[in-house]
Amino acid sequence: MSYKGRKFAVAPMIDWTDRHCRYFHRQISRQALLYTEMVVADAIIHGPRDRLLGHDAAEHPLALQLGGSDPAKLAEAVRISEAYGYDEINLNVGCPSDRVQSGTFGACLMLTPETVAECIAAMKRVATVPVTVKCRIGVDEQEPEQALPALITRVLDAGADAIWIHARKAWLKGLSPKENREIPPLDYEIVYRMKQRWPDVFIGINGGIRTLDEAATHLAHVDGVMLGRAAYQNAAILSEIDQRFFGAPAGEPDWEGLRDRMMAYAERHIASGGRLQHVARHMVGLFTGLPGARRYRQILSTDAAKSGAGPEVLAAAFAAVDFSGTEQEAVSA
């Protein structure tokens, strides 16, 4: 199954990349591939499906990341998700959190590549969209030069359409999820070597990438780049994605248009019973580096959390920013 054109993606991040975050990011970049938070297969089978899988049509291209280690349950979760129209299904083989380990999935699956292969094969049998894997380079005492190609070989034989690799080991004991994103050393070169070994397979890279210049450097060696915290904490970086990596016409970001679209979205969300804070919390880091950004953050962090807060809070926050500052400041800060 074709997996082309996914040069840039925003990583799946638990508690961050919910539907409101993704809608916001999509207003800034039309082309970046967006991912859901990880959704556990059991939750999809037994839980509130519309709440877990529902999304706005504007979010596409959009990938659903699944967590699980039971091939039959993952296949059932894929079957259910088909009705929601995702563009890709991704299996999480990289998350090191305790709650994931307790379910024997996420990064601990690096220890059992045969199980991952069985899961991918089962998912492929029912999927009508690409099925991909996001993994680490290894866990604990594993030697990445053996563990990573062993996993890749297995999942490709099972039919995986692409591999996204977080270029760090994960330590299942002794490090928190936050520490696992920062302490294990990055090894981009091993990801490059995997691409050299499998030149016809889409291989993307993730981990510690902070700027678009860094992303461009990686794209000389691999097929795709995935940013996580850098894209979330400074979402203005997404405003250059389409023209830099997808050939869109050059132009300045339309911040007023973004304000109006997010106000309209927030109004719809509030009318359906939601709160402004659900939307605004993802927008706090947007204008890092521009004059007025501190006041912008204060308004969104305090006023948006108040009972009865409406879209006018977003208007007030945007009004605090001085857009005569260079756009590059906001993107590179």
* Token pair in block for residue 219: 């794209």
Task: Give the three-state DSSP class for 191.
Answer: helix
Q: What angle do CA 286, 290, 224 make, to 5 degrees?
A: 45
Predicted model pTM = 0.93
Task: Give the three-state DSSP class for 180.
Answer: helix
* Token pair in block for residue 308: 């009865």
Those residues whose C-beta lies under 8 Å from the C-beta of residue 199, and which sit 6 or more positions away, are: none
* Token pair in block for residue 312: 């006018």
Domains of the chain: 8-245 (3.20.20.70), 255-332 (1.20.120.1460)
pLDDT digits (tens, 9 = 90+) for 45-72: 999 999 999 999 999 999 999 999 999 9
Question: pLDDT at position 332, please?
Answer: 39
Task: Give the three-state DSSP class for 142.
Answer: coil
Rounded Cα gap, residues 42 and 307, in angstroms: 34
Q: Amino acid identity, residue 323?
A: F
Q: Which residues are catalytic?
A: 95
Those residues whose C-beta lies under 8 Å from the C-beta of residue 122, and which sit 6 or more positions away, are: 71, 72, 74, 75
Least Cα distance to 155 among 202, 87, 208 occurs for: 202
Question: pLDDT at position 4, please?
Answer: 74
The least confident of 35-39, 92-96, 281-285 is: 92-96
- Environment class of residue 178 by beta-carbon count within 10 Å: exposed (0-12), middle (13-18) or buried (19+)? exposed
pLDDT digits (tens, 9 = 90+) for 148-185: 999 999 999 999 999 999 999 998 887 887 788 778 89
Under a CB-based contact definition with an 8 Å cutoff, are residues 250 and 38 in contact?
A: no
